[in-house]
Chains A and B, each alone.
Chain A
Amino acid sequence: MSEETNLGILAEEPGEQNTRRAFLAAAAAAGLCYTAALAYPIYRYLASPEEMALSATAVTEVTLKEAQKLPLASVLMFKFGTAPAMLIHHEDGRWVALSAVCSHLGCTVQYEPQADRIHCACHGGVYNAYTGANVSGPPPKPLTLFKVAVNDAGVEVSRS
């Protein structure tokens, strides 16, 4: 089989081989363009939610209406863009807003008022509830700290 094809190619004029090569290259390029034209809309279709999420992560400020009424030593969970975040009203009256996504493997962390710390139930990571600093356990980085402004209408949380 392969011998025959080899003989066939040897018997051809060199120019003929060039045109065949050029034709095959053009056909391959056309096929590639065709496939890309089919694949592009399908990719964009499937990626739509991701693109919507991207525009949501561009959020730099969230207003939490009526959040100024949050009692002492309690927490309010909210979404900053697409990711969970927490607003803590400490016993001493201080306000702290942090990302609620554990820097270890992405679980949502929990504020524990009794211990006044932030704890991740997945792998036992612990963070400081004022600064977000990683205190113990596996987390490699602190939680992102947000800026907080409290007024009569609510609480404004923004990227610092």
Chain B
Amino acid sequence: MTAKTASIYDWIDERLGLTELAAFARHKTVPVHSQSFWYYWGGISLFLFLVQCFTGVLLLVYYRPGAEAYESVRQITFVMHFGWLIRSAHAWSANLMILAILVHMFSVYFMKAYRKPREFGWLSGMALLGIASVFGFSGYLLPMDELSYFATKVGLQIPMAIPFVGPVIANMLRGGPEVSEFTVQRFFALHVVVLPALFLPLLGFHLWLVQRHGNASPPSEEAKPASERKNIPFLPNFLRKDLAMWLISLNILALLASVFPWALGKQADSLVPAPAGIHPEWYFMSPFEMLKLLGAVLPGESGEIAGILLFTLGIVLWILIPFYDTNKESGQRARAAHYFGLLAVFALLATTAIGYWTIR
């Protein structure tokens, strides 16, 4: 470092405390063991979220919500140079992000990384997943083609089943009794203003907690004596691998987005019947199928309400796992939590498979 750069560094350091930050970063380590692969999935989710922000802003340059929504997406897809690619990347990245978040969540679950002192990490993560699915649902309507129109119509029927307040909530979200340009306008406000405003601080909190507590080791690792556990420095070793994962993710995304461009259907028309084989996106397939199966067992309104109750109960149990699986040792409760996790994975995969099977 020359005297000039050293004095500039000192000037900034005195005000921002760079040396402290560097010292903190030097001491940060990441455990290495047979399950280390799963540590990358939070970072991949973060990367795909950044891609969403970037491509989202690019789409915002030409997208017009309201009555012109479909026309503007048609223009982006077919008139603007590479507009199809930007839109395709946004849609593909959204799906990959949900997938990465789910992998991240299940790896945290099975590594029991939600245990003390990481309860808030789990809770904020669940909230982020919740917001991400609302991102997905609201973004899906914005092109206002046939599929998005019916998906939103059906999706908003679910809150309708809640007794008393259901219709009020549904009408509030829809902006009237029918899905229309008012719905697009408010979903747009939700998608680009309200949800990011909720998501970003929560994401900051989530990441701050990761810094504070470090990566959790699975119980099998924690059982080992400290001398047998291996660690690598975060800087530069882990970060380098993390960035390599980001690059791989970007390449997969670029490949998917360009080889399988996201389609744009016909313009939504409330007088045209729903197309055959219409079905929800894969990440909503499981709840959709569960409600359908329950509806077959318990027909009518009671079935719908029972379905929503059962589903809510499952989600609440899932969210509250840090509070009833607290033991550091692998005891009875820990095993119960493990089986509950396996049951959840099985139920999700099975209902998704049944869902896709019954469409075809």
Q: How far is the CA of A44 from the CA of B58 in the complex (A)?
A: 12
B349 within 8 A of A: no
The dominant DSSP class at the A interface is helix
A51 within 8 A of B: yes
B 55-95 contacts with A by CB, 8 A: 58, 61, 79-83, 85-86
A115 within 8 A of B: no
B interface bracket (residues with beta carbon within 8 Å of A): 10 to 19
Interfacial chain B residues near A45, Cβ < 8 Å: 58, 61, 80-83, 85-86
How many A-B residue contacts, CB cutoff 8 Å?
Answer: 26
Q: How far is the CA of A51 from the CA of B83 in the complex (A)?
A: 14
Q: How far is the CA of A45 from the CA of B55 in the complex (A)?
A: 11
Q: Is there an interface contact between B86 and A48, defined as CB atoms closer than 8 Å?
A: no
Interfacial chain A residues near B82, Cβ < 8 Å: 41-42, 44-45
Q: How far is the CA of A51 from the CA of B80 in the complex (A)?
A: 10
The dominant DSSP class at the B interface is loop
Q: Is there an interface contact between B79 and A41, defined as CB atoms closer than 8 Å?
A: no
Interface centre among A2, A44, A45, A51 (most CB of B within 10 A): A45
A47 within 8 A of B: yes
A 17-74 contacts with B by CB, 8 A: 41-42, 44-48, 51
Interfacial chain A residues near B85, Cβ < 8 Å: 41, 45
Interfacial chain A residues near B81, Cβ < 8 Å: 41, 44-45, 47-48, 51
Interfacial chain B residues near A2, Cβ < 8 Å: 1
Q: Is there an interface contact between A48 and B58, defined as CB atoms closer than 8 Å?
A: no
Interfacial chain A residues near B79, Cβ < 8 Å: 48
Q: Is there an interface contact between B86 and A42, defined as CB atoms closer than 8 Å?
A: yes
* Distance (whole angstroms) from the CB of A117 to the closest CB of chain B: 41
Interfacial chain B residues near A42, Cβ < 8 Å: 58, 82, 86
A/B interface sample: 9 pairs, CB < 8 A: A41-B86, A44-B81, A44-B82, A45-B58, A45-B80, A45-B86, A46-B58, A48-B83, A51-B81
